[in-house]
Amino acid sequence: MAYHVADASKLEWEDRPPGAEGQQPRRAADVTSAAGLQHSRGRVWRYPAGTRGRRHADKVQEEVFVVISGRLTMLLGDPYERIDVGPESVVAVEPGTPLQVRNESDEELVLYIYGAPPEQEGADFFDDVEL
């Protein structure tokens, strides 16, 4: 039996480029190595109020979004459907589905995103959407 612990207080956080011009950077901590993930990959993300990621569709990865705190807004599909969920909620997105992670609230959003398989076969990127 084997296990690994990814202690949040020991994770290294890095700034990630903002999803749109003029926004604060998002921050991400890699969980893949710390947790010894072999068949998936994951990161904990911090989205400041009013920020968003790039709209995209992963080609082979199923992605799962787990809200730790704050309120997650996702734009799913094309044309998009807006989904808003709070803490302890989970959104699972199949490969090839256009998606965008957004924090439309006035508070920080913290979420865990993981995908499987761990290999990145690329993604298609789409124009940003104004709500």
pLDDT at position 84 over 90: yes
| Model pLDDT for residues 100-111, shown as the tens digit of each residue | 999 999 999 999
Q: What value does the mean pLDDT take over residues 31-36? A: 92
Give the pLDDT confidence score for residue 23 in this predicted structure. Answer: 87
pLDDT at position 2 over 80: yes
3-state SS, the chain, equals CCCCCCCHHHCCEEEECCCCCCCCCEEEEECCCCCCCCCCEEEEEEECCCCECCCEEECCCEEEEEEEECCEEEEECCCCEEEEECCCCEEEECCCCCEEEECCCCCCEEEEEEEECCCCCCEEECCCCCC
Q: What value does the mean pLDDT take over residues 52-57? A: 95
Domain ranges of the chain: 14-125
**CATH fold label, 14-125:** Jelly Rolls (2.60.120)
Two tokens, residue 118:
């761990």
Considering only residues 121 and 114, tell me which one the structure prediction assigns the higher pLDDT. Answer: 114
pLDDT at position 120 over 80: no
pTM for the structure as a whole: 0.91
Q: What value does the mean pLDDT take over residues 53-79? A: 96
Considering only residues 13 and 130, tell me which one the structure prediction assigns the higher pLDDT. Answer: 13
pLDDT at position 41 over 80: yes
Give the pLDDT confidence score for residue 27 in this predicted structure. Answer: 95
Q: What value does the mean pLDDT take over residues 108-124? A: 91
Give the pLDDT confidence score for residue 21 in this predicted structure. Answer: 82
